[in-house]
Amino acid sequence: MPTPHQQAEAALTAYALSLPETDLAPGWGETRYLRVRGKGFAVFGDKAQASDALTLTVKLPISYEMVQDLPFMRQGSPWYRENRWAIAHFGPEDDILAELDTLKGWVRQSYVAMAPRALSRLLTETGA
């Protein structure tokens, strides 16, 4: 039976793949990389991550500062901070499923930030 972290990753991946012109590609090492027209907008995983943990990296141009004080946020390198890429890490003790709606919102925000304008307009105009 999948762990809550694996369930959350599966749900977030399914949501992301429902957005226009997205795909899932292998990342580096143990990561999985969501792309829109070849541009990355979300990364799952970390170095040899356990099945009861999950790291998600997304670009948050709107809410980057607001999320930094959340207990599951990790500090990224200066490049991550300057470019507003946020890193959320959920360990075995964290209730990741309780955060699923928030994380879907972050995946959507990151998609809109990285997608070509015509694709991001599709989401913002339809409210999808």
- Looking at residue 3, what DSSP letter applies? -
Which tens digits make up the pLDDT trace of 74-110?
988 999 999 999 999 999 999 999 999 999 999 999 9
- Looking at residue 35, what DSSP letter applies? E
Instruction: Give 4's strand partners.
Output: none
Which residues in the chain come in under a pLDDT of 70? 29, 124-128
Q: How many CB atoms lie within 10 A of CB 92?
A: 12
Total count of residues recorded for the chain = 128
| Residue pair 32/55 in contact by the 8 Å Cβ criterion | no
